[in-house]
Amino acid sequence: MQNKIMYTSVMNIVDDELFGSNERNRVRNTGVFLLDASKKKNTLFFVGKCGGEVRVELTINFEQVSNGDVKVKESAKLFEGISTDTNDLDGTASKSTTIKKNTSKTITFRVRNTAEGGDYADITLQVRNTSIAADDCKNSIKAKAQELGTGFTGSPRTAIDRPVSVRNGKMVGFQKCDIYCSPQTGPHEIHGAIRQKYNAVGGPDNALGLPATDETTTPDGKGKFNHFTGNGSVYWHPTTGPKLVRGGIRGTWARTGWERGQYGYPTSDEIRIDPDKSEWFSDFQNGVIYWANNKSIAPYTAGLDGAKVRGLFEKIFKEKAASQKDLNIESVRIASVSDTGYHFTRSKNRTVTFKISGNYESGVFFIPNPSYTITLKIAFESDTHPNGKVACKLSARLAHWHIHTSGVGHDSLLKGLKKAVLEGFSRPFELGEVPQNSGLLSFKVQQDGGIKLYFTGNTTGRIVALVAQEKLKDL
């Protein structure tokens, strides 16, 4: 059952003046929303100001009752001081009532300044409570569209009075969103990149089923998600793109804290390794969840931490700059590590930015040596997306560079450094190859700038991870 709530709230505020005429203001708010099994309560909050001294804060709580009635409680606070930003609370009032299903009601009460002066606000709330049966998807979708507003939905692309039948429910498509409904879920919208992902994997014909929530902001405030009836979700983040996560992998992710836990956001859809085996994995910003034999199994790994990657890069840079014989390298450090990169299918790896600084021996003892700072952004990549089966070539390439020089004679230094960087990093640096069917699931840059390879949690994955670790040590 859904309750369609149409409301109009009016605050008539009076700022009582000792001298001259009283000042008055009228604040009106109106809207529509739904209460259903997924949202049994709703809270509205309005603020009205008057005369430069009076502020009224109104909170209205609605709660759905099982028989279709709705409980309403209004609470008002009146503040009065030298400005409308005051925290001087001078009066409170509240009123509660129940609105029967399919009826309208007008509720009035007054909040007064009980501490000083004759300031007050007369508050009027008009509510229409329309009960919509759980199986009445036509009116549920219409009410949902009215709640969202045409600015959100755009124009309907299918007849709103004749919802399209889909697997286990109904749907009306709009320019900017789709609204799905079933007796079990009620009406829910999907839009944007999540809508694109949902449609790309088959929409309601996919194992995801119908949306069980509207698009919702994640608890960390950075991403969005829709949950679906088929034990699955689509999560979106501005540096990952929309990704599907479901089943046991989703359960493991949930138990570790969702996006705020150790794994971060998903960076791939759920990937099935072998169609003949119950073996899947999902890639995440900070790890991999591998599922086999109906349980989550820790993947085997090989890698280098950030300090070792920094040392490896210093070794590579010195080899590339060997032609600059009088170049002094004072420091090589990891300046920053980017976030993952947006992609619809498989999020891009983090990039690592290195800074190299030093000076150049000018050969003139009484003139300070010219100095330099080189910024190199390095992308660590696999030529194909690992999926547990394909062969992969792993490499590091120069994605962006910047050189700053200063001091007497720095122009020639700049010219030489540009030549060394552009020639030395013209080709990617090969990190190694992983043969076909070696169980490689992911090649990932860690938050500290380290690199890690994830392999299946079986015998093959364990052996290949050991071999890969030895090869990384030899780089």
Q: Mean pLDDT of successive 10-residue segments in the chain (475 residues)?
A: 95 87 93 90 97 96 94 97 92 97 97 92 97 93 95 95 95 97 94 98 95 96 96 97 97 97 97 88 98 94 96 90 82 96 97 94 73 95 96 96 88 85 89 94 97 97 96 89
Residues 285 and 306 in one domain: no
pTM: 0.89
What pLDDT was estimated at residue 357? Answer: 94
What pLDDT was estimated at residue 47? Answer: 98
| Max CA pair span of the chain | 95
Q: Which of 71, 37, 73, 69 is nearest to 58 (CA)?
A: 73
Q: Decide which of 297, 319, 351 is a domain's last residue.
A: 297
Say which residue the tokens 């109904």 belong to.
170
Q: Which of 413, 401, 416 is nearest to 372 (CA)?
A: 413
Helix/strand/coil for 179 = strand
Q: Decide which of 132, 152, 171 is a domain's last residue.
A: 132
Which domain, by its residues, includes 467?
Answer: 301-473
- Report the distance separating Cα 11 and Cα 24, nearest Å: 10
Q: Decide which of 241, 270, 297 is a domain's last residue.
A: 297
Total residues belonging to the chain: 475
- Report the distance separating Cα 429 and Cα 312, nearest Å: 11
Task: Give the C-alpha distances (Å, rounded to integers) separating 380 from 12, 286, 293, 300.
Answer: 63, 15, 32, 20
Residues 220 and 90 in one domain: no
For residue 165, count CB atoms less than 10 angstroms from its CB and return exposed for 0-12, middle for 13-18, buried for 19 or more.
Answer: exposed
Task: Give the C-alpha distances (Å, rounded to integers) separating 170 from 135, 148, 187.
Answer: 10, 18, 9
- Report the distance separating Cα 42 and Cα 44, nearest Å: 7
Task: Give the C-alpha distances (Å, rounded to integers) separating 133 from 1, 65, 79, 143.
Answer: 5, 14, 43, 12
CA 315 to chain centre: 38
Residues 207 and 320 in one domain: no
Say which residue the tokens 């286990």 belong to.
168
Q: What are phi and psi of 425, to 5 degrees?
A: -115, 25
What pLDDT was estimated at residue 78? Answer: 97
Helices (H), 13-108: none
What pLDDT was estimated at residue 10? Answer: 98
| Contact predicate 32/149, CB 8 Å | no
Residues 210 and 353 in one domain: no
β pairing state of 70-80 and 232-236: unpaired
Residues 153 and 239 in one domain: yes
Residues 315 and 436 in one domain: yes
> What single DSSP character describes residue 129?
E
| Contact predicate 340/349, CB 8 Å | yes
Residues 152 and 261 in one domain: yes
> What single DSSP character describes residue 193?
H
Neighbours of 393 (CB within 10 A): 14
The continuous run of DSSP H or E covering 346 comes out as none
- Report the distance separating Cα 187 and Cα 321, nearest Å: 63
Count of structural domains within the chain:
3
Residues 212 and 346 in one domain: no
Residues 292 and 381 in one domain: no
Residues 258 and 380 in one domain: no
Residues 221 and 305 in one domain: no
Residues 18 and 143 in one domain: no
CA 142 to chain centre: 29
What pLDDT was estimated at residue 365? Answer: 63
| Contact predicate 153/141, CB 8 Å | no
- Report the distance separating Cα 451 and Cα 194, nearest Å: 30
Q: Which of 257, 190, 249 is nearest to 219 (CA)?
A: 257
